[in-house]
Structure 1
């Protein structure tokens, strides 16, 4: 696969490992391993930008803010999202710089960009919040939070109640012109956690909203906007599968748009897991002839770009 521009979406496993403590030190150790893989992609001649998730991190920032509300004001959710972009980006750029040095590419700058992403305030997601964030509460605690803070609380798989926020579709990257200016010289880390969601008022003023944008869809928008050749979505598995975890599981080295849409209609992909990844891949490939999306694991990332691993999503025309 001959490609040049690649936008890489990092899954949660690229930032944290199950069973390890949820500390900044532990995250940095995981990110260092991730950076080694990404630096090899850069060393192979690909121009890359990096988009990352923030689910666990933003939940902990929000919890810390709420827990300490008696001594310091609570931070709005959009502010917590921006905070997560800063500290995760700091870890990635520090680890990437060290890894690039070892690859003999220490002259490449790496920078984190606090990124706002415009969403439509009329998006149906605002009428039906579905994205759980933060910790679990009892029914009584949840009802109190609804009354006192105006939160929407929903029961989550029998484990208790959690706050849910909307997950609207990304429409526009506010800082896109900055990315465009930096692209040729710099590895940019942007749209952390899908970007800080903002709505645009009639006077052009931006206003943050309590929502979570899917980071794979945000990465797809970045890739479309910058004219990338490849959208690479990294997750825990090497390939997309149908009949996942069933005796007849089938791993897919390639999917056409038509095949992917058929599998989505048949509900082969789990919502909140593989489904948004396939949706983002399809939207990117549809956006322009010749574009390719790849879904694979971090360990197989470079091999997937070389056509030797992963699931490739193509137009099929």
Structure 2
């Protein structure tokens, strides 16, 4: 009985936790869309994000996940589970790899649904991280967290999207954020955005995702506040990223 109880309370692997998160996010957004678009079909498939098994990120886990632990418990969990648990402030917290997304397994399915006029909610929580066997294509879940912004940019590129919109909790990208010299960036090229030195744990991945999409597709990307999506799309808010901006 004790062994069975421990099995039921053991932590799920991160790939299954990713699937759980994606399904919950998909359900909430799908219900909202059903209410806003009565009579329309809505799809919220669980998607899988392929990463390379040989990605160097697996040798250098850096992404903090989960709760914090006191030192003694952190050491016990690290030994028992094979986790990496470095110091995080006054406590200790697990870190996992953050490999680069290579492709979304369900891209063709999403493309077909969109082609039929069905809005699709997908890749929430970056999807389920998996590797693909080179000989058979068999998928295997991995203990990793893939960056959500880079995943969105990759999916948008593969779907040949016209526009990539990244929504966050600030109205613009800011240079010198949180300093007396803070100023909004209203327009930028990919190179200008990359040169902004934005923090890796916050605006950095969003800036890189917008830069990659604009660079690789020639289409515009934008970053801005969640409650200003309509204004951003119509050019009245947010930071616009395009490869063809002219500079004075």
Q: Flag whether TM exceeds 0.5 (same fold).
A: yes
Number of aligned residues: 239
Specify every segment of 5 or more residues in structure 2 that has no aligned partner in the other structure, as ranges.
none
Distance 2:118 2:214 in 1: 25
Query: Where does residue 254 of structure 1 map in the other structure?
Result: 187
Query: Where does residue 280 of structure 1 map in the other structure?
Result: 209
Distance 2:127 2:211 in 1: 20
Distance 1:251 1:72 in 2: 47
Compute the RMSD of aligned alpha carbons.
Answer: 1.4
1:223 aligns to 2:156 (yes or no): yes
How does the TM-score come out when normalised to structure 2? 0.92
Specify every segment of 5 or more residues in structure 1 that has no aligned partner in the other structure, as ranges.
1-67, 101-105
1:74 Cα deviation from its structure 2 partner: 3.8
Listed as ranges, the matches of 1:1-317 within 5 Å are 69=6, 71-72=8-9, 74-100=11-37, 106-158=38-90, 160-184=91-115, 185-202=117-134, 203-263=136-196, 267=197, 269-289=198-218, 291-316=219-244
SS in 1 for 2:121: strand
- Asked whether the equivalents of residues 258 and 316 of structure 1 are also in contact (C-alpha less than 8 Å), the reply is no
- Asked whether the equivalents of residues 237 and 297 of structure 1 are also in contact (C-alpha less than 8 Å), the reply is yes
1:70 Cα deviation from its structure 2 partner: 5.4
How does the TM-score come out when normalised to structure 1? 0.73
Higher RCO (CA-CA < 8 Å; seq separation 6+)? 1
- Asked whether the equivalents of residues 41 and 119 of structure 2 are also in contact (C-alpha less than 8 Å), the reply is yes
CA displacement, residues 260-314 of structure 1 (integer Å, 9 cap, x when unaligned): 1222xxx2x111210000000000011122x000000012111111111110001
1:77 Cα deviation from its structure 2 partner: 1.6
